[in-house]
Structure 1
Amino acid sequence: MTEFENHRKRAREMQRAEEAREQAAAEVRRSRKRSRKKNDQKFFLFVFATIILGIVAASLLSVFFPAEGQESKKEKAQPASAQAQTYTPATATWTATGDIVFHLPFLESGVYLNSSDGSYNYNSIFDYCRPLLEEADFSTVTTETSLAGEEAGYSGYPMFKAPDALADALAGGGFDMVNLASNHVYDGLDDGFQRTMDVLQQRNLQYMGTRRDENQKKYNVVDVNGIKVGVLSYVYETTAQSGSKSINGIPLSDTASALINSFDPSNPDPFYSEVETSLSAMKEEGVQYTIAYMHWGTEYQTQQSEEQTQIAQKLCDMGIDTLIGSHPHVIQPVDVLTSADGEHQMLCAYAIGNFLSNQRAEYMQAEMPTGETEDSYMLTLTLSSDEKGKVTLTDAGFTPMWTYRYETDAGAAFAVLPVNDTSTLEESTGLSGIKGEADESAARTQAIIGAGVEKVKAALPLKSAI
């Protein structure tokens, strides 16, 4: 046998030995399978496999024997695969505004109604807040009306039915999602309820709190700059004389009852169960931050009720990260709640006021003569994620807003104005003589939420529960 043949024989023996060792390593690792190349690079594959085995072993050791203080109890409970997943760090802003209550002047004023063809245009109402809404990565609003269509007839209080032009104005005003779970969601009955969702979808506006059919989820998952936000929205139920479920005293059909997210304040346990189920499903979908919108409380009360306090604490205990309330038509306090186990904090905005309505102080002498029904604030959450996908609330903005009504030759006109800085408000809007009222609005808002805002700022950053 020649020297060359001996060399080839030894090479083949070496290759077989390396192959055996590589197979043994694969057996130890079990779950890892690698294709083997039948060529002269067996040695390099073996080295590579050995390195990977070391990394896996180190990862497993870190899961079962983490360094003290490095992980919370919830992080320790996560599967190794979830902890090993990497994310691209990102930042997203989520803005929420208060209620739009569609009163009769919005229908009757010639400022918005074209008498020649009967069409409406509400775009100008949002001219001065549009830049703030467009600046946010995602913006939401709550509507207390239905879009039942012209054939159903338009109307103000007590059965709100708005023209589709409202949806056009919202889409053009910088909004991305409409919260439909209000006590006026069923003012258009079954047809109006379904049509409202159709109209919003046609304008590329997402909606929450309702579903088209029972196959849809009871929650929304929104990807904002790579951060997955899970959203829940619920409205309080009333009980009709028949004992059936109703909203605002209107008995719901069996179909609508299953498609509107609602809760019974006197029996919240079924609601809590639904929330728990939704939170589990959200986690499976990879949701990193959760927001609950609650239509609740007592009208014209600037302090939350005991019922609101109890429900908010329960939602905090369950892991909701931010709660945003509506319905009282006035602003209520802001707070930071801590879960019973001490491991989670939740930003709680009990009610953020009327974003747009005709509830001016001069018309509210019996209910709220001091002007709080004209006020709201824009809540902006700044969410930041790290390379592990953990999301932190790194900032929270509270921009006071004021609904101004003024008279024109064509009728009443409205403007939703930010009043965080009124020094140039008249110049920038062309609305003269408004600074005094704007300052009063900002002062009213500060009086209600000022202490809570400071508490929120001091508690930041707040980590998400998921």
Structure 2
Amino acid sequence: MSRIHGSKRSLSSRLRAMLPRKQSAFSPSEYPVGRGLGKVSRSSSSVSGQFRSAQITDAKRRHKAAAASTSVTVGKPKTRRRIISGIRESSLSKAITIGAFSIVGVIGLIIILVAANSGGRQTVAAVHDSGSDSASQANSVISMDDDGASVTVTVGGSIRLHDEIITAAASGGGYNFNNYLDDMKLIMDSDISIVSLQGTVDGYGSNASLSGYPAANYPNQLISALSEMGINTVATANTASLSGGYDPLVKTISNLEASGITAVGTYSSQSAHDTVYVKKIDGICVGIGSYNCITSAEIAAQSGNFTPEQKAWCINQYGIASATEYILSDVKTMRAAGAQFIIIYINWGSSDASSPTAEMRSLAQDLIDAGVDVTAGVGSNFVQRVTVKTSAATGRSCYVFYSLGNLFADINSGASQLTQQSLVASFTLERAAGSDTVTLTKANYHPVYCNRDSSHVTENTYLKYRVVPAARYVDASEMPSIFSTKDQWQRCKTTFTNIRTLIGDKLVLGDVEKVDSALYQGSDAGENASL
């Protein structure tokens, strides 16, 4: 019996000797994950309940924290150990490194794709000084002998030459549009004079492949007529500018620049696209932008000879629901370059709409909130309402023209009287002597009528169209000679009345010389707020 008992004591001693003496000296955090905890699990499962209980009791005496977490260290580590069992530390480290680099690469690719698809860009500003042939800094120092300055800015509606107009303008193997637009010089000849050009001009060279709106490619002589009228800037961001493809678009920009007219909104290179336009005259800086803001479906339906890269940067074009961030980014760049007055042309809405959509109103409010001074809407064949609100950001009045209408067009051969009406607005900016602060002192408007005379369809076609300031002819004692019927004269009078009713007291009727030399007197804008 004693031998047997002695054998049991010997076995017990041997088993105790097999147990790791300092195992409980480690805190749970000191074990490599999975490895130490697995040892605890294996040890407790390899002995009888008596010695497992003794091991835990011994651990309690040596480390109280180990006793408190016994159920955790025995139970949870089993699954963790199975996951990484058999994987060497070097292999695991390599796998983690490769995985980390892969994740970074995927994130970078996503960022690139999002930026490419969103049309986002980092812009810079080119400040064009009227006193210099090259770009200059906007914030140049005002000299001691400075006398101050005054700048007039005029915005007009769309130029849409339909086939009937191009045919009528044919003259001596070329084309002549000057007589159609001659009267408009009275109100458009300003320091900065802008219209929307809906289409390309001599996009293929030598007046080849001419066509009227909407597949628009107009004769080269249109440019000289615009220049003669006083136009020096054209807003070109619209779908019609894309109708011929990339080459006609770029050719149009070149043709305009050759005559001293700046195209804003379409571009011949990525760098040009990434540069906003600021015009500086006598220390007064005006930022000008042009954007085609239509629906995503309309953008997808556009066709033309473009590579994807060319289409991405040849035009400022965004879905109207997401256009705000892109336009305001450009506005911020303009202001950083010194722009004190900002004009944004937007081609938006439906051509047959007589009122703005909810999306148009929302975008317009965003521009007001950002302090954009003038939002000039085009795209509709009808003049739409005008909104004047004070911007909370600047404390200044901001003017929104939802649609200026068509300055020169022949919609349905003149069938609709309302499509013969348009609106021109003019703003006077002043800078006091020795000061760099610019103030808006006048905000005027002019009703414009496009007369179509059907008696000159085949002969004397240079008289078929005449675009005129309506106020010039409304009070004549006899029918002016530019009209061949009293109905035409009455349409001119109706245009004057309609536009005055639409504008109300939001702007002041501008000066224009009448046929009897009388003047409509303009007056100060409602607020002379500093810009």
Matching residue's letter, 1:214: Q
Determine if contact 2:246/2:305 at 8 Å carries over to the other structure.
no
TM-aligned CA distance change 1:249 to 1:314, over 3 Å:
farther
| Residue deviations 1:317-352 (CA, integer Å, cap 9, x gap) | 122111111111111111112335573431111111
Whole-angstrom distance in 2 between the partners of 1:327 and 1:201: 24
Q: Which residue of 2 aligns with 1:448?
A: 502
Q: Are positions 1:276 and 2:328 aligned together?
A: yes
Measured in 2, the distance between the counterparts of 1:336 and 1:204 equals 32
Where 2:271 maps in the other structure, the secondary structure is: coil
Is the 2:283–2:436 contact (alpha carbons within 8 Å) kept by the matching residues of 1?
A: no
Q: Distance in 2 between matches of 1:183 and 1:457?
A: 37
Q: What is the aligned partner in structure 2 of residue 96 from structure 1?
A: 155
- Which string of whole-angstrom CA distances, capped at 9 and with x for unpartnered residues, describes residues 150-205 of structure 1? 57511124311111111121112211111111221112211111111011011111
- Report Cα offsets for 1:57-115 as digits up to 9, x if no partner: xxxxxxxxxxxxxxxxxxxxxxxxx8997775321111111101110112222xx213x
SS at 1:347 equivalent = strand
Pick closer, same or farther for the CA change 1:94–1:122 going to 2, 3 Å.
same
Answer whether contact 2:198 2:238 (CA < 8 A) is retained: yes
Alignment of 1:127 with 2:208, yes or no, is no
Aligned equivalent of 1:309? 361
Change (3 A) 1:341 1:220: closer
Q: CA deviation at 1:425?
A: 8.8
Q: What is the distance in 1 between the residues matched to 2:164 and 2:350?
A: 25
Structure 1 distance, partners of 2:449, 2:265, is 26
What amino acid does structure 2 have at the position aligned with 1:337? K
SS state at 2:242 partner = coil
Q: Is contact 1:426–1:435 with CA below 8 Å preserved after alignment?
A: no
Q: Work out whether residues 164 and 410 of structure 2, in 8 Å CA contact, stay in contact via their aligned partners in 1.
A: yes
Question: Take 1:300 and 1:340, find their aligned partners in 2: how far apart are those partners?
Answer: 33
1:96/1:378 contact within 8 Å kept: yes
Identical counterparts, % of pairs: 23
Q: 1:435 aligns with which of 457, 469, 489?
A: 489
Q: Determine helix, strand or coil for the equivalent of 1:303.
A: coil
Contact 1:139 1:177 in 2 (8 A): yes
CA gap 1:246/1:424 in 2 versus in 1, 3 angstroms: farther
Asked if 1:263 is matched to 2:318, the reply is yes
Aligned partners of 1:329 and 1:373 also within 8 Å: yes
Higher relative contact order (CA 8 A, sep 6+): 1
> How far 1:362 sits from its partner (Å)?
5.0
2:527 corresponds, among 457, 460, 466, to 460
- CA offset digits 1:434-464 (Å, max 9, x no partner): 4212111112222322254379977422432
Please give the alpha-carbon distance, in whole angstroms, between the structure 2 residues aligned to 1:339 and 1:204. 34
- Corresponding residue to 2:420 among 343, 364, 374: 374
1:179 counterpart residue number:
235
Q: Which has the larger radius of gyration?
A: 2
AA matched with 2:429:
L
2:498 match: secondary structure: helix
Please tell me the root mean square deviation across aligned C-alpha atoms, in Å.
Answer: 2.9
Aligned to 2:459: 410
Letter in 2 for 1:435: W
1:394 aligns with 2:441: yes
Residue number in structure 2 paired with 1:10 = none
AA paired with 2:528? P
CA distance in 1, matches of 2:286, 2:480: 35
Amino acid at match of 1:447: T
Using structure 2 for the length normalisation, give the TM-score: 0.63
When normalised by structure 1's length, the TM-score is 0.71
Question: Structure 1 or 2: larger helix share?
Answer: 2
Alignment size in residue pairs: 366
- Structure 1 segments unaligned to the other structure (5+ residues): 1-81, 364-368
Distance 1:171 1:84 in 2: 32
Aligned mate of 2:248, from 168, 173, 192: 192
Alpha carbons 2:199, 2:213 under 8 Å: kept: no
**In 2, Cα distance between the equivalents of 1:361 and 1:443?**
23
The one-letter code of the counterpart of 1:414 is: Y
Instruction: Quote the Cα distance in structure 1 between the aligned partners of 2:228 and 2:343.
Output: 24
**From 223, 227, 242, the counterpart of 2:284:** 227
**Residues 193-342 of structure 1 correspond to what in structure 2 (within 5 A)?**
193-216=249-272, 217-239=274-296, 245-246=299-300, 253=307, 254-266=309-321, 268=322, 271-340=323-392
Structure 1 counterpart SS, 2:240 = coil
Q: CA deviation at 1:429?
A: 4.9
Unaligned runs of 5+ in 2: 1-138, 510-522
SS at match of 1:420: helix
